[in-house]
Chain A
Amino acid sequence: MNLSMVQHILGLMLLIFSLTMLPPAAVSLAYQDGHFQPFLDAFLIVALLGALLWFPVRRARRDLRLRDGFLVVTLFWFTLGLAGATPFLVTDVPDMSFTDAVFEAVSGFTTTGSTVLVGLEGLPKSILYYRQQIQWLGGMGIIVLAVALLPILGIGGMSLYKAETPGPVKDDKLTPRIAQTAKALWAGYLLLTAVCAACYYLAGMGAFDAFAHAFTTLSTGGFSTYDDGLSHFGSAAVEYVAILFMLAGGTNFALHFLALRGRSMRGYLKDAEFRAYVGILAVLILVVSSSLYLTGRYGSIADAFRHGAFQVVSLQTSTGYVTAEFAAWPGALPALLMLATFIGGCAGSTGGGIKVMRWLLVFKQALVELRRLIHPRGEILVRLAKRPVPDRVINAVTAFFAIYLMLFGGLTLLLMALGLDQVSAWSAVATSLNNTGPALGSVASNFTGVPDSVKWTCALAMIIGRLELFTLIVLFTPDFWRG
């Protein structure tokens, strides 16, 4: 273990992160909301902390090993969660406890989007901007985490993806180095965000709101500058723009990158995961919209489709914008939508959940097992896009599902023990593990009314989910710490 190098990296990271306090400070000056000082304080505090961490080990120069990687990546999210809470702590508006501040920051960075704040309209513009920015930065971190870092550690959808599927991602490796890959993906992310903001603006939003929401759309975060979220605008155009860019946020960014570079949409159509992703969404939209219409919840097909499609896309991609009180929808719809969050986006996207790729593989694996029953001596392989998938990958995916299920069950029981009712408990765990945002029951719109213990548990679940379980859990295995 190379602790001094880990400390070196974290220190540097905090120094860099402190700079992100400056744009909200600028926003404060621009809008004259009188909130300049807290951001300046936060900047100084975080920078100082970073310097304190970094200075003693500034000369540490050793290569990181694989194991250090797990530690760095995990600590990265914990540290940012804590450091990101600083601006909430150094101010009275909003007046937040330590727990609330950390919950809000973690929820932001993991692009979950659950909040403990109400009365957003009354808050200073700079604070609102800061929340959106956290999610946007979180999205950036996730892309690099998912596309570049986790594969090196051997975890996650993308590693399967790169190794096992033909088509765009494998054939042209994006670029040879992580740093270049990250830059290329960020460029795509930046561009999509700008386009999204422009679309919002054209759809009738103000410039500030357009940018603020573009930030949390592409990152599939779900924070809004209004308590009632996107329904505040009451505009179908805004919602369809949101649907489109939430879809984009839930798509593998490597595909975006290749589409931009090759100026062609063919990569999307050829990608097995993307096709499954769109297919699942289409089926869910059909089911939800028609149920809404047939049960008379909405009088017109257009309304039923608009609200059905929005909620489905928002929840499955784990964005978590809500334009209708879906928790009060009839029949199985609320539970269906909560369960859709388990599907999540594509591997290598900003979306949360288990990821379409894993579902695809586990589903194919199930079909293969059935065929094996009929042909006991058959050499039957799981194939993705016609290529066989190695058994190791399948085993990893199956293990992932098992751990996911155990965590989900265990955390649900824990929340119930901490005082939540069943529906609130399981939906709160689902929304946290899957990095979605809204839930059912007492946590349907926000987490203000739950005990601190629940907030800490949920914040932990968000980080676990974001790190695709293994990155964090591996730290708790004895082998990790043994030589």
Chain B
Amino acid sequence: MKIIILGAGQVGRTATYHLSRDQANDITVVDANAETLRELRDRLDIRTVVGNAAHPRTLESAGCEDADMIVALTNSDEVNMMACQVAFALYRTPTKIARVRAADYAAHPKLFEEGGLHVDVLISPEQLVTEHVSRLIQYPGALQVLDFADGRVRMVGMRAVTGGQLVGHQLRELPDHLPKRDVRVAAIYRQGRSVQPEGDTVIEAGDEVFFIAARDDIRVMMKELRTEETPVRRVVIAGAGNIGHRLARSLEDENDVKLIEHDAVRARFVAETLRRTLVLVGDAADEELLLEENIDDADVFVSLTNVEEANILSAMLAKRLGAHRAMALINRPAYAELMEGGSIDVAISPQLITIGALLARVRRGDVARVHSLRRGAAEAMETIVHGDSRNSLVVRRRVEQIDLPPGTTISAVVRGEEVIMAHHDTVIEVDDHVILFLTDRRHVETVGKLFQAGARSN
């Protein structure tokens, strides 16, 4: 697939990195800064073009004429939308994705309907990260909470600890623990390595377990893996940037939220727009301030500033001062790996969260959702089944008959309103949404082909 990425900022670079790993993709990156592009070209096998992302001349030299997709990720909403518009008007580019941060645009869906702006998909990294963090806060103890089928099915990743009812037991005992509930364990990671979940697999303390369940069954399952967590009431957020601000707004009605911001002008602005949040002016790494505001009472401390080192340090400090759980926004995968599970509880990776929305678009077959996991090594995806039993390798077949690549499991099937946990004898039908877990993302291509209509005749 020929893809043009506009903007080589943080999101743009991550997208480039992830998309270029697929051999099938031809990537061209456009940015105004030649230096950034050179660095990127040194590391990855891509083409680069220097210029204004929305100018037709730039787009033309980037090969827009025969591009399959344009992904506009510059830091200007307007440039992004304009670029999509230009790509449509001049080159009829089939798929146009734009990063649009301002909530005001997204609040008017009519803008992007027929006759409006030609943007097929809007991506707002801030919004995605905000939703991600607020789901984590909603389920204390979770490391990941991923939505599928509009949130009717969720996949949760969490670390098993001694005291959880299922810890030390075989997986096949799960139905006895949770009668009338249907939960599937999709993957288990033990000391960083994937363990195929079978009936006789014993869950050990320290395992990172991914399970999938209908939304209402999540909490009971979490109790199986950890001792019960009290619901979150007190949240302390460090950094009142876009994400911190949005998060405070989404949490303030049901939680006591404190928001720490060092810039007095920004703090004032944020205080005016939030209703119940207590905005504090100061440094999130200031021990005195944290103690003054009873950090030892906080259920969750989340640091979301622009500086990841500061996020790590303030989260570590908060954790040491007694915050129950500490999360930090960390961009670099290396840092995230260092920190998570040790000095802080959850490392939030904005790129991984954002990239999923892009990956869903470049995949073969009809893919509704992609969640990139474990720094991009694994993937959970929701794909829609098309075709019929004559030309498809999956339609009207039982799960055990499907020839899945190693490390890949079918976890659940959503059929209309119905959520079905996949068993070996579950039969896949047309239009099912199938949720898969891939412990090795290299098999993505194979899985894509498998689910494509017409795969059988090939």
B-contacting residues of A (Cβ < 8 Å)?
375-381, 383, 386, 388
A-contacting residues of B (Cβ < 8 Å)?
264, 267-268, 270-272, 275, 278-282, 289, 292-293
Q: Which residues of A contact B289 (CB under 8 A)?
A: 377
In Å, the complex CA distance between A388 and B279 comes to 13
- Whether the pair B268, A379 counts as a contact (CB closer than 8 A) is yes
In Å, the complex CA distance between A346 and B153 comes to 54
In Å, the complex CA distance between A93 and B292 comes to 75
- Whether the pair B275, A379 counts as a contact (CB closer than 8 A) is no
- Whether the pair B293, A375 counts as a contact (CB closer than 8 A) is yes
Which residue of A378, A381, A386, A388 contacts B280 across the interface (Cβ within 8 Å)?
Answer: A378
Closest to A390 in B: B272
- Whether the pair A388, B292 counts as a contact (CB closer than 8 A) is no
Top 3 closest A-B pairs, CB basis? Answer: A379-B271, A379-B279, A388-B272
Which residue of B264, B271, B281, B282 contacts A381 across the interface (Cβ within 8 Å)?
Answer: B271
Closest to A381 in B: B271
Q: Which residues of B contact A378 (CB under 8 A)?
A: 278-281
Which residue of A380, A383, A386, A388 contacts B278 across the interface (Cβ within 8 Å)?
Answer: A380
Known: A375-B280, A375-B293. Contact between A380 and B271, CB under 8 A?
A: yes
Which residue of B268, B271, B279, B292 contacts A376 across the interface (Cβ within 8 Å)?
Answer: B292
Closest to A376 in B: B292
In Å, the complex CA distance between A376 and B293 comes to 10
In Å, the complex CA distance between A85 and B275 comes to 53
Q: Which residues of B contact A375 (CB under 8 A)?
A: 278, 280, 292-293
Q: Which residues of B contact A388 (CB under 8 A)?
A: 271-272
Q: Which residues of B contact A376 (CB under 8 A)?
A: 292
Can you list 26 residue pairs at the A/B interface with Cβ under 8 Å? A375-B278, A375-B280, A375-B292, A375-B293, A376-B292, A377-B280, A377-B281, A377-B282, A377-B289, A378-B278, A378-B279, A378-B280, A378-B281, A379-B264, A379-B267, A379-B268, A379-B270, A379-B271, A379-B280, A379-B281, A380-B278, A381-B271, A383-B275, A386-B275, A388-B271, A388-B272
In Å, the complex CA distance between A400 and B349 comes to 53
In Å, the complex CA distance between A164 and B278 comes to 21
In Å, the complex CA distance between A379 and B280 comes to 6
In Å, the complex CA distance between A253 and B35 comes to 65
In Å, the complex CA distance between A377 and B278 comes to 10
Q: Which residues of A contact B272 (CB under 8 A)?
A: 381, 388
In Å, the complex CA distance between A383 and B293 comes to 22
In Å, the complex CA distance between A216 and B119 comes to 65
In Å, the complex CA distance between A380 and B279 comes to 7
Q: How far is the CB of A390 from chain B (nearest CB, A)?
A: 10
Q: How far is the CB of B249 from chain A (nearest CB, A)?
A: 13
Q: Which residues of B contact A383 (CB under 8 A)?
A: 275
- Extra contacts, 11 of them, besides A377-B282, A377-B289, A378-B280 (Cβ < 8 A), are A375-B292, A375-B293, A376-B292, A377-B292, A378-B278, A378-B281, A379-B264, A379-B271, A379-B280, A379-B281, A380-B279
In Å, the complex CA distance between A378 and B280 comes to 4
In Å, the complex CA distance between A377 and B281 comes to 5
Q: Which residues of B contact A381 (CB under 8 A)?
A: 271-272
In Å, the complex CA distance between A386 and B271 comes to 11
Closest to B259 in A: A379
Q: How far is the CB of B288 from chain A (nearest CB, A)?
A: 10
In Å, the complex CA distance between A376 and B281 comes to 9
In Å, the complex CA distance between A377 and B293 comes to 9
Q: Which residues of A contact B270 (CB under 8 A)?
A: 379
Q: Which residues of A contact B282 (CB under 8 A)?
A: 377
Closest to A386 in B: B275
Q: Which residues of B contact A379 (CB under 8 A)?
A: 264, 267-268, 270-271, 279-281
In Å, the complex CA distance between A381 and B280 comes to 12
